[in-house]
Amino acid sequence: MKLRLAVVGAAGVLVMSAGAAAASTSHGSNDSLRSLGAKIGLRIGTAVNANKLNSDAKYTEIVADQFSTVTPENVMKWDAIEPTQGTLNFGPADQLVTFAKQHDQLVRGHTLLWHNQLPGWLTAGVGGGTIDNTQLKAILKKHITDEVTHFKGKIWQWDVANEFFANAWDPHPLADGINGDDFWVQHLGEGIVADAFRWAHAADPHALLFYNDFNIAGEDGTNAKADAVLAFAVKLKHAGVPIDGIGDQGHLDTQFGFSGTAMTQDLQRYADNGFKVALTEVDVRTFIETTDANQTPTDQLSTFAQPYEYSQMLKACLAVRSCISFTVWGFDDADSWVPGFFVGEGYADIYDVNLNPKPAYTDLQQDLQLAAHGAQHRTGSGAHS
Ligand code: 9MR
């Protein structure tokens, strides 16, 4: 079913249409993030909570109207796709893919190879010794092949491998920066990353294949992780591994420093080495009054820092021609993963808990307006006028 929307105010507030005056939503209303991004070839995306899509009308309208690419927040992960070994459950992900097609959106597939959200039968089998490493590799190959084949032709970018590199706090990095404690690296060695790209490419040769991670575009003080990812990706490319792009997740926290300049430089460095780049999971969290359901920040200054960091990330993407999509990791605070993962933090998204746009939304919209149209020419600024 196509959603019909009518009025979208300057701040992106949606008003339901009763009928004939409704504008088609397939390309978003005029001031929507997606429409503005489209003018410069940039896709604006969101992670989608599949439980809300088509069941919460306002949520669904915003997804349709504001975004030109969608990422399933959870329903394409292995535990969702194969909760019981051999029984594949593509239903919820198929619904999102159908929705995206109806609304002229492209899909970022997320994610094929990760240490998290693995099916219980798999981790139990490996832990209990009933799945040995040879079997594990065959099971993984089947998983990637089955999933990519199922969605063949319907996925724009796949996050093939996710979060393989060590952070400063991880105790056992390998020589090239890969996390030696990663589940897959421990069992199958780091060559499994290249295998995953090859298997995905064999199943859908037209999908863009991405390596996805956090703190790999200027957020890491030493830049060691970004350096390691770049060197690794270049090595794969030279070895003929089908890797097209690098995704920086962009999960920021206002309590840490952040340099938009460093992000721009790192994104450009990937681009200069022949990779497409994408901001894949953008959000900016801060400390909140935890007793307040509205996720009000504890510090007034963070209500300025939060939209500022969004804007800096978008500008970094805008500055790099190979940056082809900018995706927020959920658009509303009510659905954010942040309060459940970081004690005392929230306010991470661009819409509030009641699905109203926040200053971060307006900042992104203004940045895109300027990128799309430039500033209006001044009149009356001449010496004699
Ligand atoms: O937002 C996702 C949350 O709903 C899940 O519970 C969580 C489980 O691992 O994964 C979250 O998404 C993650 C993404 O898939 C990969 N990068 C980090 C994201 C936030 O944890």
Closest of 170, 361, 333, 163 to residue 248, by C-alpha: 163
**Closest ligand 1 atom number to CA of residue 329:** 1
Tokens of 71: 């990422």
**Tokens 């899509």 sit on residue:** 53
Interval 178-196 mean pLDDT:
98
Instruction: Report CA(326)–ligand 1 centroid distance (Å).
Output: 17
pLDDT for residue 19 is more than 70: no
Write the DSSP symbol of residue 313. Answer: H
Options 61, 281, 309, 345, the catalytic residue: 281
**Closest ligand 1 atom number to CA of residue 330:** 1
**Closest ligand 1 atom number to CA of residue 77:** 15
pLDDT per residue as tens digits for the range 103-117: 999 999 999 999 999
Write the DSSP symbol of residue 214. Answer: S
pLDDT for residue 15 is more than 80: no
Indicate if 289 belongs to the active site: no
**Closest ligand 1 atom number to CA of residue 117:** 9
Indicate the range of 200-204, 220-224, 235-239 predicted with least confidence.
220-224
- Residue nearest atom 16 in ligand 1 by C-alpha distance: 162
Interval 337-353 mean pLDDT:
98
Higher-pLDDT residue of 7 and 273 is 273
Using CA atoms, how far apart are residues 226 and 281, in angstroms rounded to an integer? 17
Instruction: Report CA(377)–ligand 1 centroid distance (Å).
Output: 44
Closest of 182, 212, 353 to residue 282, by C-alpha: 212
Spatial contact of 262 and 223, defined as CB atoms under 8 Å apart: yes
Pocket test residue of 73, 75, 283 for ligand 1, highest count of atoms within 8 A of CB: 73
- Residue nearest atom 3 in ligand 1 by C-alpha distance: 337
Closest of 371, 281, 329, 374 to residue 42, by C-alpha: 371
Residue 173: Cβ within 10 Å count? 18
Tokens of 67: 């975004």
pLDDT at site 126:
98
- Residue nearest atom 1 in ligand 1 by C-alpha distance: 337
Indicate if 281 belongs to the active site: yes
Pocket test residue of 71, 75, 114, 116 for ligand 1, highest count of atoms within 8 A of CB: 116
pLDDT for residue 27 is more than 50: yes
- Residue nearest atom 21 in ligand 1 by C-alpha distance: 337
Tokens of 2: 């196509």
Instruction: Report CA(19)–ligand 1 centroid distance (Å).
Output: 38
Q: Give 24-27 contacts, CB < 8 A, sequence gap 24+.
A: 25/61, 25/64, 25/65, 25/103, 26/2, 26/102, 26/103, 26/104, 27/104
- Which residues approach ligand 1 with their CB closer than 6 A? 73-74, 116-117, 162, 249, 281, 337
- Measured between its terminal Cα atoms, the distance across the chain in Å is 55
Q: What angle do CA 303, 280, 141 make, to 5 degrees?
A: 150
Closest of 312, 313, 322 to residue 275, by C-alpha: 322
Using CA atoms, how far apart are residues 385 and 200, in angstroms rounded to an integer? 63
- Residue nearest atom 12 in ligand 1 by C-alpha distance: 73
pLDDT for residue 5 is more than 50: no
pLDDT for residue 18 is more than 80: no
- Residue nearest atom 20 in ligand 1 by C-alpha distance: 337
Phi/psi of residue 113, nearest 5 degrees: -135, 105
Domain boundary assignment for the chain: 6-371
Pocket test residue of 46, 215, 329, 332 for ligand 1, highest count of atoms within 8 A of CB: 329
pLDDT for residue 138 is more than 80: yes
pLDDT for residue 287 is more than 50: yes
**Tokens 């390998």 sit on residue:** 174
pLDDT > 90 fraction of the chain, expressed in percent and rounded = 90
Predicted structure pTM score: 0.93
Instruction: Report CA(117)–ligand 1 centroid distance (Å).
Output: 9
Instruction: Report CA(62)–ligand 1 centroid distance (Å).
Output: 21
If DSSP codes are grouped into helix, strand and coil, which group holds residue 161?
A: strand
Tokens of 101: 């097609």
Interval 199-205 mean pLDDT:
99
Using CA atoms, how far apart are residues 356 and 12, in angstroms rounded to an integer? 8
- Residue nearest atom 4 in ligand 1 by C-alpha distance: 337
pLDDT for residue 373 is more than 60: yes
pLDDT for residue 169 is more than 60: yes
Topology (CATH) of 6-371: TIM Barrel (3.20.20)
Q: In what order do the strands lie in the sheet with 23-24?
A: 14-16, 4-8, 23-24
Interval 9-35 mean pLDDT:
56
Indicate the range of 263-267, 300-304, 338-342, 381-385 predicted with least confidence.
381-385
pLDDT at site 26:
59
pLDDT category of residue 2 using cuts at 50, 70 and 90? very low
pLDDT for residue 238 is more than 80: yes
Options 163, 219, 309, 345, the catalytic residue: 163
Exposure string (b/e) for 12-42, b if CB count within 10 Å is 16 or more? bebeebeeeeebebebbbebbbbbbbbeeeb
Pocket test residue of 51, 74, 331 for ligand 1, highest count of atoms within 8 A of CB: 74
- Residue nearest atom 8 in ligand 1 by C-alpha distance: 117
**Closest ligand 1 atom number to CA of residue 116:** 9
pLDDT at site 324:
98
pLDDT > 70 fraction of the chain, expressed in percent and rounded = 93
